[in-house]
Each structure stands twice: as C-alpha cells, then as structure tokens.
C-alpha cells in the first residue's frame, strides 16, 4: 500500500516466449475462450461470470482473522513476508521482498550467498506443498521510485532473477503476480510511476495485480470518491492487452455510509470481468503508511460485513 491514490519495468527476455506457460493459460484471453463467451451469450445464460472458473476472494493478512470471524464460509488469505523469514506462509497469495536490500543486490545474488539460499528455500517449500499459489515479488515498487531500492530497470532485473531461481528449483505451481498500485495504470506515461515502465515482460508475468483504494476523504484522496470500476478498468485493459490474468491483491474503501454499496458495486464489477479477474483481497486492516493514518479501511459495521458476505456466498467465487 502506497501513498498514491490507487497505482508500476524489463531485463532478459525468454527466447520464443510471449506468454507465460503454466498459469498463463488459466485466464489467457484466447480465440476459443472468446468464442465460448459468445456461445454462452447466445444461449441466454448470465454473461462471462457463468462461463469461467471461480475467482479467489479473500482478505489481506493482519485483518484476515477478523474478516474470517465475521464471515460465514472460508475466504482466501494474502500474506506478506521477507525471504529472510524461514517460515513461508501457507496462503493463497504471498507477497515477498528482501527487506532493505537494493534491487541490484537481489539481481546479483549468486549461488552460495545468503539471499540466494533463502530464495531457494522459499522455492523448495512452495514446490513441496503443491497446489496453486500466487507469488508477488516486492509489491508497489513504483511507489519508491528513485528511492533506496533502485530504478525500474533494477526492479525488473531483481524480479526476473527471483523468478529464475524458482524456475531452477522447479516450483511450477507458482502464478507470478506483478503487484503495482492501480494509480500506476492511470498516471501519465511521462510519470516515473507509469506502469509500463516497471513491467517485467510478458514472459515473466502470469497475473497483472494492482492495489486499488477508494481514498475519498482520507490520506491522499482529496475528497474524490472512486468506484472500483474507475480504479480497475485501466488495470484490466493492460492485462487484456498482454493476454494476462488480473487481480486486486489489495482493495478497500475508506469508511463512510456508502461503503456497503461500494462493496456491492465491486461485487458486480468482479462478475462482469471474470474473463480476466482471478483474485481480490480486501485490505481489512489499518494503514501501513503514516501519511494514510487517518484512513479507515477495516470493515466495521454489520452492513459492511453483509455486503462482503454476499460476495463470499456467490458461487462464482472461491477461497
């Protein structure tokens, strides 16, 4: 979560590969899939939502427990961790980073080094567990553009190196998720935070993820109310253009009387875009950045939880 209202680089390209193998085919927008959607429409069924596999719905760790306690039925968990932590979270999605290490040092981590061995441990652990897990490396990198971690090119090199290590270990059950802020897909191309500048490349990404927040009157919101559709449409357009799945690793709305309806509108937005959306995790916890300390993301009323429960109860979603 950054201080931007919603927002993210490139390196070695894999020869002959334009889309990811493994999980890229799960929600790649192909000709046969488009034809299937058309057939469903002709048959009179409910649009794209009924024609695709369920998307994951859940909450971000730190607020997951409260969300689960107030929800009837299981929801997916999205955890954050560091490579230095030997206890790899066993959750549907994991976002991992290398602490304060620069992206260049991550990209240069060689066999035998502490960081390299830590990444290998992560890859081995996830591989051994089997199943399907979304993994994002160093979320919202564009939010620290020009900061201690390095440049967009440095981030891309680090991202690719981490993924390459997982590949060498044979962790094929990973869906590599590029996690930006939604703002990066809406800002001007001249901005250092512009998403395309931070894109690792089609051969390295399975899922285009964006953290989307309706700041409204808190943090950097400046009083502007945004439905998830406004925040998400540029993200989904980017994902479709690159034939990738899309997700919201974090999404939330600041507390006000309209939040239950905002969640219900998000529900309908998910249904309308299940041809590309694969997961969404509500940020049900306090802000992690001081500048946004006045934001109230966590659900707090019966109406809030009822609106979220309606998503959980919908057969188009899963944990």
Question: Residue 175: beta bridge partners?
Answer: 134
Among 244, 280, 202, which Cα is nearest to 24's?
A: 244
Q: What is the pLDDT of residue 135?
A: 98
Q: What is the pLDDT of residue 221?
A: 66
Q: What is the pLDDT of residue 146?
A: 60
Q: What is the pLDDT of residue 145?
A: 58
Average pLDDT of the chain is 85
pTM of the model: 0.85
Q: What is the pLDDT of residue 1?
A: 59
Among 108, 136, 140, which Cα is nearest to 122's?
A: 136
63-71 mean pLDDT: 94
How far is 300 from 23, CA to CA, in rounded Å? Answer: 36
pLDDT at 178 over 90: yes
59-71 mean pLDDT: 94
If you search the block for the tokens 């590599």, which residue do you land on? 176
Per-residue pLDDT tens digits for 233-246: 999 999 999 999 99
pLDDT at 139 over 50: yes
CATH topology of domain 22-318: TIM Barrel (3.20.20)
243 or 217: which leads in pLDDT: 243
Q: How far is CA 105 from CA 35, 144, 163, 236, in A?
A: 46, 16, 15, 32
pLDDT at 210 over 50: yes
Q: Provide the 8-state DSSP code for 51.
A: G
Per-residue pLDDT tens digits for 156-176: 999 999 999 999 999 999 999
List for the chain the helix, strand, coil content (%; round to 5).
40, 20, 45
pLDDT class of 30 with cuts at 50, 70, 90: very low
How far is 238 from 141, CA to CA, in rounded Å? Answer: 17
Task: Return the percentage of the chain with pLDDT > 90, whole number.
Answer: 74
274 contact partners, CB below 8 Å, separation of at least 6: 48, 49, 51, 52, 55, 316
Q: What is the pLDDT of residue 69?
A: 94
Tokens of 146: 């020009």
247 or 50: which leads in pLDDT: 247
Q: What is the pLDDT of residue 54?
A: 85
| Residue 253 and residue 223 in contact, taking contact as beta carbons nearer than 8 Å | no
Per-residue pLDDT tens digits for 253-308: 999 999 999 999 999 999 999 999 999 999 998 877 776 778 999 999 999 999 99
192-214 mean pLDDT: 97
| Residue 65 and residue 268 in contact, taking contact as beta carbons nearer than 8 Å | no
Q: What is the pLDDT of residue 220?
A: 72
pLDDT class of 11 with cuts at 50, 70, 90: very low
- Residue ranges per domain, the chain? 22-318
How far is 200 from 196, CA to CA, in rounded Å? Answer: 9
Q: What is the pLDDT of residue 8?
A: 27
Question: Length of the chain, please?
Answer: 319
Q: What dihedral angle (degrees, nearest 10) is formed by the CA atoms of 15, 242, 139, 295?
A: 180
């Amino acid at each position: 979560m950054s201080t931007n209202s919603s927002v993210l680089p490139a390196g070695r390209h894999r020869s002959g590969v334009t889309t990811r193998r493994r999980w890229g085919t799960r929600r790649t927008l192909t000709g046969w899939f488009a034809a299937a959607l058309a057939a469903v429409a002709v048959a009179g069924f409910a649009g794209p939502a009924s024609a695709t596999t369920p998307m994951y719905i859940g909450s971000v760790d730190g607020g997951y427990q409260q969300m689960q306690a107030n929800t009837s039925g299981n929801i997916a968990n999205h955890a954050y961790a560091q490579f230095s932590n030997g206890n790899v979270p066993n959750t549907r999605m994991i976002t991992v980073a290398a602490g304060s290490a620069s992206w260049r040092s991550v990209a240069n981590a060689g066999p035998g080094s502490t960081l390299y061995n830590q990444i290998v441990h992560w890859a081995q652990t996830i591989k051994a567990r089997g199943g399907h897990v979304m993994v994002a490396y160093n979320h919202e990198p564009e939010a620290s553009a020009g900061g201690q971690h390095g440049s967009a090119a440095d981030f891309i090199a680090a991202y690719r190196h981490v993924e390459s290590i997982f590949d060498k270990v044979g962790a094929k059950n990973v869906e590599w998720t590029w996690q930006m802020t939604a703002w990066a897909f809406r800002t001007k191309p001249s901005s250092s935070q512009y998403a395309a500048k931070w894109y690792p490349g089609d051969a390295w990404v399975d899922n285009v993820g964006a953290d989307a927040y309706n700041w409204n009157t808190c943090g950097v919101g400046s009083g502007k109310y945004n439905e998830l559709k406004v925040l998400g449409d540029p993200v989904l357009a980017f994902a479709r253009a690159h034939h990738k799945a899309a997700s919201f690793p974090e999404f939330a709305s600041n507390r006000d009387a309209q939040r239950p309806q905002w969640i219900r509108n998000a529900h309908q937005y998910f249904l309308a875009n299940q041809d590309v959306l694969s997961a969404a995790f509500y940020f049900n916890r306090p802000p992690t950045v001081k500048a946004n300390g006045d934001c109230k993301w966590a659900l707090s009323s019966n109406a809030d939880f009822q609106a979220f429960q309606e998503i959980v109860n919908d057969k188009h979603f899963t944990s």
